[in-house]
A = this chain, B = another copy of it.
Amino acid sequence: MKANLTTQDSNPLIDKRINFVGDAVADIRDGATILIGGFGEAGSPIELVHALLDQGARNLTVVSNNAGNGHVGLAALIEARRVARMVCSFPRSSNSVVFDEQFKAGEIELELVPQGTLAERIRAGGAGIPAFYTRTSAGTPLQEGKEVRDFAGRPHVLETAIRGDVALVKAERADRWGNLAYNKTARNFGPIMCMAADQAIVQVRRLVELGDIDPEHVITPSIFVGRVVEVPDPADETTLINQGIKRVPQ
């Protein structure tokens, strides 16, 4: 049987708002698995990642579509040697110098996952599905070590769920319950990463009143979100990189 809940009350109202990004990531532990949203720089929660960099947790597994650019955001986290293992679909980019170096030196582990399989594994983690079959990667080197089974006469690969201890996500708006709306293609991995983490921590451009997000337009329902913190004017990676910024722990 499942755990009995205590009847001890916490706050009189559900309020997931946190004032500072530093407080929002304060309890992330060494060895944690962190899901980091974003496709390229769209949806990348840079301020939360920098707060994690300053917080100091090490030996992290990071699940993110890419492996960072320049020397900011995820790349800065990798550069500070906080990341032991990356799970991603496309670590290489024109500006992924930090990951490239550590990977070539054998200093960081990589699990390469096709982008759609990565997305589906994360969704499965959020939806209580431990494993599923997909045609993707059948007959390729990426099926190695995985069970292959035929459905409708075609080989399919068994893929397992991905869950995170924490998700770091960027959205557009949030209310105190944690309902989220996103901006354009910055939505990408946010909704499924919020589902798949024990603690989803979300930076938003704007906190709004409960009820301000139309129930028809909520993209991530409050139940999937643990903490929201307002970052009204988030940095964008391109600008930081063009400015030659090299973010180090502070």
Residues of A bordering B, CB below 8 Å? 120, 124, 127-135, 151-152, 156, 160, 181-182, 184, 215-217, 219
Given contacts A216-B181, A217-B216, A217-B217, contact A151 B133 (CB under 8 A): no
Closest B residue to A123 by beta carbon equals B127
Instruction: Note all chain B residues with C-beta closer than 8 A to A152.
Output: 130
Q: How far is the CA of A132 from the CA of B161 in the complex (A)?
A: 11
Closest B residue to A132 by beta carbon equals B132
Q: Contact partner of A129 among B120, B184, B219, CB < 8 A?
A: B120
Instruction: Note all chain B residues with C-beta closer than 8 A to A182.
Output: 216
Cβ-defined contact, B130 with A151, below 8 A: yes
Q: Which of A128, A129, A160, A219 has the most CB of B within 10 A?
A: A129
Cβ-defined contact, B132 with A131, below 8 A: yes
Instruction: Note all chain B residues with C-beta closer than 8 A to A120.
Output: 127, 129
Instruction: Note all chain B residues with C-beta closer than 8 A to A160.
Output: 151
Instruction: Note all chain B residues with C-beta closer than 8 A to A156.
Output: 130-131
Cβ-defined contact, B124 with A132, below 8 A: yes
Question: What's the minimum C-beta distance from A147 to chain B, rounded to whole angstroms?
Answer: 10
Cβ-defined contact, A128 with B132, below 8 A: no
Listed by A's residue number, 21 A-B pairs whose Cβ atoms lie within 8 Å are: A120-B127, A124-B132, A128-B134, A128-B135, A129-B133, A129-B134, A130-B133, A130-B151, A130-B152, A130-B156, A131-B133, A131-B151, A131-B156, A132-B132, A151-B160, A181-B216, A184-B215, A184-B216, A216-B217, A216-B219, A217-B217
Closest B residue to A217 by beta carbon equals B217
Question: What's the minimum C-beta distance from A181 to chain B, rounded to whole angstroms?
Answer: 7
